[in-house]
């Protein structure tokens, strides 16, 4: 479709774009104390975009803007994930005390910019679009991570993020250029055909290019060995941003990863066994399986030693990236299904855990787990919900986390005996993670004096807590609507069959 015809199907993105522009102008007319109101503008714009997205055709599969963006159910479900996560984070940000001191107008605008970038990330099928969308997300995230200008920790987070980001996107860009040099086109599906025509010629270049591109994706989803930025950035950034970075851009990274390798080395349709044959010489499935195994092991083992809740959740998010990555090596539809399902579940439990941490930090002024003692009695609501999110992150029934993990392991087991070891490894890791998640619960309920104070958050935070808490429980017992939705979304834009 040409540019003009595409606009009709690009309305959600256009709404977000206009929201950004309007919100920037609106910010100029608010004083510092009132600048949080820009958040409402952005909130309204994103809600509108979500409604329009909901009204779009669920089954439409086409390409926009001269084959640089794909419109398909796969990108649609991810767009919902991004917009939902952003709406939650905007409300969380309005409640976070650390952001009360600074001017937050640009903060909300930048969040909207990240959403736009992630929308493009989930749907790009052109190397240039891939790179530009990643950069839009990254650059806005750099600023958001360093938003507390007067705090050294925040500056450090931003600077480390920039340096790692520049380095890994440089490496990825080199990989992309090798791919372009090898095939002479930037469209993913044309590259796929060109690779098939190469017949193994230039295989070494292809392998190098793939590894380099993996570095860029690995950085976005913080998989080992590209994870080093994660703990420092997560600790230094404002807490709502930490929550956001650990969910939304990570989901976007996975969306891009799935689409990229699916359309490049697969048949173009959802993964089928026996794909990736165009890459001889290296057992790719095993390589990604090992990366997933190391990622979850490192995340879990280092999380045990953390004393700061943000750092703990940072390492646990590395571990969860490892779990989600388990869906790729089996190269099956089940695997992708399990990954998307887990990302949806992870959104609720991770954001929920962070929101409880924010409320505790607002009220009790601490991020140290040791000082959480007795909070289970001082504020039963926060205590119980934190326990729920911790159970869910561990994967204990009847929470949503259990169902998510179950789908992942089931996909691995169904994928044949060669990945039984990974499934067992994943279960063992869940046991390790039980220790540090339960330590928080133990400190909250079994340490410190247990006099009742009964701190109840006000109406809006309580509602938001329920919005996180209820799905975490509900999807643990009644998950088929979500599973069906994900199942129906596994339709990719395909050229070659």
Partner 1 sequence: MYTNFGTVFIFVIIGIILVAFPLLLQRILAPSRKTPDKLTTYECGEDAVGGAWIQFNIRFYVVALIFIIFDVEVILLFPWAVVYKELGLFAFVEMMIFLAILSVGLIYIWRKGDLDWVKYSVPYGRGRYKKLKIVPKQVPAVVAEIGDRGSTIVDVTTS
Tell me which of 5, 8, 21, 431 binds partner 1, using CB under 8 A.
21
Which residue, 65 or 364, has its beta carbon nearer to partner 1?
A: 65
Residue 280 engages partner 1 in binding (rule: CB under 8 A): no
Count the residues of the shown chain that bind partner 1, applying the rule CB under 8 A.
17
Which residue, 59 or 150, has its beta carbon nearer to partner 1?
A: 150
Residue 153 engages partner 1 in binding (rule: CB under 8 A): no
The interface region with partner 1, picked from 182-190, 262-270, 387-395, 428-436 by CB under 8 A, is 182-190
Task: Give CA separation, 407 vs 137, 266, 420, 480, in Å.
Answer: 29, 22, 14, 12
Which residue, 129 or 393, has its beta carbon nearer to partner 1?
A: 129
Q: Which residues contact 434 (CB under 8 A, 6 or more apart)?
A: 394, 396
- Give just the sign of the alpha carbon dihedral 94, 98, 99, 102: positive
Cβ count within 10 A of residue 480: 9
Tell me which of 184, 398, 416, 481 binds partner 1, using CB under 8 A.
184
Residue 32 engages partner 1 in binding (rule: CB under 8 A): yes
Q: Which of residues 202-261 bind partner 1 (CB under 8 A)?
A: 202, 205
Q: How far apart are CA 312 and CA 334, in angstroms?
A: 30
Q: Give me the least distance between CB of 20 and partner 1, in Å please.
A: 9
Which residue, 63 or 183, has its beta carbon nearer to partner 1?
A: 183
The interface region with partner 1, picked from 21-29, 39-47, 273-281, 457-465 by CB under 8 A, is 21-29
Residue 470 engages partner 1 in binding (rule: CB under 8 A): no
Which residue, 35 or 430, has its beta carbon nearer to partner 1?
A: 35
Q: Which residues contact 299 (CB under 8 A, 6 or more apart)?
A: 224, 227, 315, 316, 317, 318, 319, 320, 321, 322
Residue 181 engages partner 1 in binding (rule: CB under 8 A): yes
Find the DSSP H helices in 305-419. 309-325, 333-364, 375-378, 380-394, 400-414
* Per-residue contact flags (x/-) with partner 1 for residues 111 to 150, judged by CB under 8 A: ---------------------------------------x
Q: Which residues contact 281 (CB under 8 A, 6 or more apart)?
A: 203, 204, 207
Q: Give me the least distance between CB of 305 and partner 1, in Å please.
A: 36
Contact of 278 with 195, CB cutoff 8 Å: yes
Tell me which of 95, 103, 378, 405 binds partner 1, using CB under 8 A.
103
Which residue, 147 or 341, has its beta carbon nearer to partner 1?
A: 147
Strand partners, 62: 71
Q: Which of 149, 142, 140 is nearest to 110 (CA)?
A: 140
Tokens (6 digits) for 235: 């600790």
Strand partners, 63: 70
Residue 28 engages partner 1 in binding (rule: CB under 8 A): yes
Residue 483 engages partner 1 in binding (rule: CB under 8 A): no
Q: CA torsion angle for 440, 441, 443, 448 (degrees, to 10)?
A: 150
Tell me which of 4, 273, 417, 454 binds partner 1, using CB under 8 A.
4
Task: Give CA separation, 295 vs 12, 317, 429, in Å.
Answer: 35, 10, 11
Q: Which of 370, 349, 135, 154 is nearest to 243 (CA)?
A: 349
Which residue, 134 or 178, has its beta carbon nearer to partner 1?
A: 178
Q: Which of residues 192-211 bind partner 1 (CB under 8 A)?
A: 198, 201-202, 205
Helix or strand run (H / E) with residue 231: helix 229-236
Write out the residues near partner 1 by the rule CB under 8 A.
4, 21, 24-25, 28, 31-32, 103, 150, 181-184, 198, 201-202, 205
């Amino acid at each position: 479709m040409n540019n003009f015809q595409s606009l009709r199907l690009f309305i959600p993105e256009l709404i977000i774009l206009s929201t950004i522009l309007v919100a920037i102008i609106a910010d100029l007319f608010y004083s510092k104390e009132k600048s949080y109101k820009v958040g409402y503008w952005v909130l309204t714009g994103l809600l509108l975009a979500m409604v329009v997205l909901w009204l779009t055709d669920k089954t439409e599969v086409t390409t926009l803007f001269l084959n640089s963006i794909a419109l398909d159910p796969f990108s649609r479900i991810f767009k919902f994930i991004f917009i939902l996560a952003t709406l939650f984070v905007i409300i969380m940000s309005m409640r976070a005390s650390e952001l009360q001191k600074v001017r937050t107008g640009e903060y909300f605008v930048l969040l909207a910019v990240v959403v736009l970038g992630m929308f493009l990330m989930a749907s790009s099928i052109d190397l240039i679009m891939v790179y530009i969308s990643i950069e839009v997300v990254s650059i806005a995230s750099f600023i958001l991570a360093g938003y507390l200008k007067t705090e050294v920790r925040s500056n450090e987070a931003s600077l480390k993020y920039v340096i790692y980001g520049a380095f890994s996107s440089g490496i990825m860009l080199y990989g992309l250029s090798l791919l372009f040099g090898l095939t002479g086109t930037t469209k993913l599906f044309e590259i796929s055909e060109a690779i098939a025509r190469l017949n193994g010629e230039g295989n070494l270049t292809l392998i190098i290019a793939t590894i380099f591109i993996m570095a860029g994706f690995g950085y976005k989803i913080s998989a080992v060995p590209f994870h080093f930025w994660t703990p420092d950035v997560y600790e230094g950034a404002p807490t709502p941003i930490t929550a956001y970075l650990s969910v939304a851009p990570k989901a976007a990274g996975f969306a891009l990863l799935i689409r990229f390798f699916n359309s490049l080395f697969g048949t173009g349709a959802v993964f089928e066994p026996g794909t990736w044959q165009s890459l001889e010489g290296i057992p790719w499935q095993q390589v990604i399986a090992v990366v997933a195994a190391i990622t979850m092991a490192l995340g879990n083992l280092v999380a045990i030693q953390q004393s700061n809740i943000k750092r703990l959740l940072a390492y646990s998010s590395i571990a969860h990236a490892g779990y989600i990555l388990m869906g790729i090596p089996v190269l099956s539809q089940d695997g992708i299904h399990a990954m998307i399902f887990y990302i949806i579940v992870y959104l609720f439990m991770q954001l929920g855990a962070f929101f409880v941490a924010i409320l505790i930090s607002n009220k009790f002024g601490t991020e140290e787990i040791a000082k959480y003692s007795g909070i289970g009695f001082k504020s039963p609501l926060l205590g119980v919900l934190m326990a729920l999110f911790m159970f869910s992150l561990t994967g204990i029934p009847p929470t949503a986390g259990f169902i998510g993990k179950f789908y992942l392991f089931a996909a691995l087991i169904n994928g044949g005996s060669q990945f039984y070891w990974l499934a067992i490894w994943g279960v063992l890791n869940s046991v390790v993670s039980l220790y540090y998640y339960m330590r928080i619960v133990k400190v909250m309920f079994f340490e410190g004096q247990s006099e009742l104070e009964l701190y109840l958050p006000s109406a809006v935070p309580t509602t938001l807590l329920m919005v996180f808490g209820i799905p975490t429980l509900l999807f643990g017992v009644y998950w088929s609507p979500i599973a069906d939705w994900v199942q129906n979304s596994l339709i990719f834009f395909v050229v070659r069959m």
